[in-house]
Amino acid sequence: MELEASLEQSVQARIFKIIVIGDSNVGKTCLTVRFCGGTFPASTAATIGVDFREKAVEIAGEHIK
């Protein structure tokens, strides 16, 4: 029982939500695709509405999502 609790605490990630706003055609989608996927898209269609991406990183031994 204690082992399960300690494992859950050690893998629990801090969660941050980031909103990117700005004028049309300035690279908001390219920025988020590059950060989350590691690639830079050659071309993208205009984003209408909301777009969602997720990435988990580890900084100084801490899991951040």
**Considering its fold, how many domains does the chain have in total?**
1
Structure confidence at residue 10 as a pLDDT band (50, 70, 90): low
User: How many Å apart are CA 29 and CA 37, to the nearest integer?
Assistant: 11
> Each residue of 26-64: pLDDT tens digit?
999 999 999 999 998 888 889 888 999 999 999 998 999
In a domain, 34, yes or no: yes
Which residues constitute the domain of residue 38?
12-64
In a domain, 30, yes or no: yes
Q: What pLDDT is stored for residue 49 in this prediction?
A: 87
Q: What pLDDT is stored for residue 41 in this prediction?
A: 86
In a domain, 23, yes or no: yes
In a domain, 2, yes or no: no
Q: What pLDDT is stored for residue 55 in this prediction?
A: 93
In a domain, 52, yes or no: yes
In a domain, 60, yes or no: yes
Query: Of 9, 50, 48, 43, whose CA–CA distance to 27 is shortest?
Result: 43
Q: What pLDDT is stored for residue 19 in this prediction?
A: 94
User: How many Å apart are CA 50 and CA 38, to the nearest integer?
Assistant: 21
Per the CB < 8 A criterion, the answer to whether 53 and 32 are in contact is yes
